[in-house]
Structure 1
Amino acid sequence: MKYIVISTLLISLVACAPSSSQDKPNNHTLAEKPQNFNDYWYAGEAEITSYKLEQARYGKIHSGEAVMIFVTEPFSKSKQVKLDDWRDESADNVSVMKLNMTKKFLTGIYPYSMMMSTFTPISYDQYPDPFKVTTSSQEWCGHTWMQLNLQEKDFRLRGFSYFESEGDVEVAVPNVMLEDELWTRIRFNPENLPTGKIKVLPSTFYLRLRHQEAKPKVAEITKLPVHESEFSTEDHVIYKIEYNDRTLTIYYEPEFPFTILGWEETYLSGFGNPEILTTKAKRINSIKSAYWGKNSNKDREIRKELGLGVE
């Protein structure tokens, strides 16, 4: 029994740990990555960026917080989960960049807590599609869950919800560009970002909040350098994804590590008589941290550095 306990403890200790310099993918190339990519992303730390959030919901704008956590880690291609043994040298071990993106905001008396995770292979010349996306939402009415898994020809979508019309579903979704993967594509090398008219599966956050089916839509995607905006007084880039009913604009720095400065998302919000509103997120701060080891009460001080509330 004690061996089982010890094994469980070891797994829990490394559960959030990222790839280290010893875990760089040696059997998969890192095509078209900046020269300092490995030094930054395989240093045994995650990058945590906090944002001041203004979220459109129920026809109103609600204040809150958003956080993006980017980290590389070893991933099982066959099981589509993080490998317990990060030393696995088999072909099943593929290095991915994981993004955990969270949103927390209040709507009147009750809170929303949302999280989206993407798992995108670092070597996108060999693995051009994300392996997996998961999204959950919790609020006082109930909670929902959506998961996309890459298959040979398409994505397998499973969805669970307390809404009758969105109940337990399992369908195939065409293998198109996922809006949720564009965040990590920016961090790889934005020179490779797609532009033009492209079929895209909209954000899983958006699909959940607007109660829409997971169906690809045609989007016009543009990229434009700017000298100044409300998101930065320094040179940066605007990356815009325009659908016929929604626009997402991402602002990011043009130099490595291509920090995401914020975003705007405009669409109809509310029921009955919806209004066109814009969700907005502005960067507060970014840090590199092995946060999975920062779990004592004294470590709450780090949240102040990020400008986040102490809960």
Structure 2
Amino acid sequence: MNNQLILLCFVVLGIISCGRQERPEVDFEVWGNYWFQGKAEISSYDLVQYRYGEAREGEAVLIFVTEDFSRKRQVKLDRPNEAGRDKLSVLKMNQTRDFLTGIYPYHMMLSAFTPTKEAGFGVKFNLTSQEWCGHTFTQLNLKSRQDYKGKLYSYFEEEGDQDFSVSALIEDDIWNLIRINPNQVPVGNVKVLPSLIFQRFSHREFKAEEAFIRMVDISRDRSRMELTYSSGERVVHIDFEKDFPFQIMGWEEIFIKDGQKEITSAKRKGIKQIDYWKRNSLEDEFLRKELQLKY
């Protein structure tokens, strides 16, 4: 009996360890020297955002930073040193988009949380969108390998407050996977849930779609992730540097609507590594000029 119990313990430990395998083909010594130094990477972009059939000039910001996350609650840990096995290291991306539609502004923020060293996909995604008509909040939480439970809170009657489920690669996860290492992005035919930003603009249901992903070289030092949905309606390009830390130089979203091509694009204009959460005094506002921030 004792031998059987010992064997059972080894099996359980094996299952646990298999569930927490390290990402393959990533040099985490080099990776950690960049990402685990207590700073965030902030990049600013000139944005052209299509909305209501017209191209709007605006601004986007990408903020990448590592955090200690709770596996169970899927929130940032206040006391990570006391969390034990509940602690999960994640790479967080906050993406903001600000632009005007006529007299009124749009303010959008997308967050994605993806395990750093542990193999796997994003554990949480959420989007807030504010404009003068009202605001909405969407959140996805990982329940198993690629199974997500989601909630939408909206001021639109037709959408209302709703729960939904989806099993797919989340398009918004691709940004973090590129930053960890482009080889972590699945290529070929993949089931993908379109970006929460696209869903907000299109008001479509949260449904996975067939898509094809590939990586292509676009210059000596840059590569491009190409995501093409099988419907033929939408293509997404993310351009990044070939060498670590794989900085994102810009992106493009092509959407065919009523036979017309709408192209949303962003081009990088500034970048800085900084502990921005400590730079909150009036005298720190000069840092915004260094990033060429307008909004």
Same fold (TM over 0.5): yes
Q: State the partner residue of 2:17.
A: none
Q: CA deviation at 1:30?
A: 5.5
**Distance in 2 separating the partners of 1:147 and 1:51:** 25
**Distance in 1 separating the partners of 2:293 and 2:267:** 13
Helix, strand or coil at the partner of 2:94: strand
Helix, strand or coil at the partner of 1:166: coil
Query: Contact 1:31 / 1:123 at 8 angstroms: preserved in 2?
Result: no
The alignment-based identity, stated in percent, is: 44
Q: CA deviation at 1:124?
A: 3.5
**Distance in 1 separating the partners of 2:171 and 2:118:** 16
Helix, strand or coil at the partner of 2:174: helix
* Equivalent position to 1:96, from 90, 96, 120: 90
* Equivalent position to 2:200, from 208, 219, 222: 208
Is 2:175 the counterpart of 1:192? no
**Distance in 1 separating the partners of 2:250 and 2:280:** 27
Matches within 5 A, 1:56-95: 56-95=50-89
* Equivalent position to 1:292, from 277, 286, 289: 277
Note the residue ranges of structure 1 that are not aligned, 5 or more in a row.
Answer: 1-26, 228-233
Matches within 5 A, 1:122-201: 122-125=116-119, 128-152=120-144, 154-174=147-167, 176-201=168-193
Query: Contact 1:103 / 1:114 at 8 angstroms: preserved in 2?
Result: yes
Q: State the partner residue of 1:53.
A: 47
* Equivalent position to 1:302, from 284, 287, 290: 287
**Distance in 1 separating the partners of 2:36 and 2:58:** 31
Is 2:222 the counterpart of 1:236? yes
**Distance in 2 separating the partners of 1:82 and 1:76:** 6
Query: Contact 2:221 / 2:243 at 8 angstroms: preserved in 1?
Result: no
Q: CA deviation at 1:56?
A: 0.4
Is 2:113 the counterpart of 1:119? yes
Letter of the 1:216 partner, please give it: A
Query: Contact 2:59 / 2:99 at 8 angstroms: preserved in 1?
Result: yes
Note the residue ranges of structure 2 that are not aligned, 5 or more in a row.
Answer: 1-19
Is 2:248 the counterpart of 1:255? no
**Distance in 1 separating the partners of 2:250 and 2:144:** 34
* Equivalent position to 2:25, from 9, 32, 46: 32
**Distance in 2 separating the partners of 1:102 and 1:139:** 14
Q: CA deviation at 1:138?
A: 0.2
Query: Contact 2:164 / 2:206 at 8 angstroms: preserved in 1?
Result: no
**Distance in 2 separating the partners of 1:69 and 1:151:** 26
**Distance in 2 separating the partners of 1:42 and 1:290:** 12
Query: Contact 2:236 / 2:252 at 8 angstroms: preserved in 1?
Result: yes
* Equivalent position to 2:261, from 256, 276, 279: 276
Letter of the 2:174 partner, please give it: L
Q: CA deviation at 1:193?
A: 1.9
Letter of the 1:155 partner, please give it: Y
Q: State the partner residue of 1:266.
A: 254
**Distance in 1 separating the partners of 2:260 and 2:216:** 28
Which deviates more from structure 2 when the two are superposed, residues 27-36 or residues 214-223? 27-36
Is 2:210 the counterpart of 1:218? yes
Q: After superposition, give the CA deviation of every residue in 1:244-279 in whole Å (9 maximum; x if it has no partner).
A: 21000110000000000000001145xxx6732100
Letter of the 1:43 partner, please give it: Q
TM-score (structure 1 length as normaliser): 0.84
Q: State the partner residue of 1:8.
A: none
Letter of the 2:248 partner, please give it: I
Q: State the partner residue of 2:8.
A: none
Q: CA deviation at 1:29?
A: 4.1
* Equivalent position to 1:44, from 38, 42, 58: 38
Helix, strand or coil at the partner of 2:292: coil
Letter of the 2:159 partner, please give it: E
Q: CA deviation at 1:195?
A: 1.3
Which deviates more from structure 2 when the two are superposed, residues 189-198 or residues 75-84? 189-198
Q: After superposition, give the CA deviation of every residue in 1:46-97 in whole Å (9 maximum; x if it has no partner).
A: 0001100000000000000000000001000001100010223511001000
Helix, strand or coil at the partner of 1:151: strand
**Distance in 1 separating the partners of 2:64 and 2:24:** 19
Change in CA separation of 1:28 and 1:84 when aligned onto 2, cut-off 3 Å: farther
Aligned residues: 272
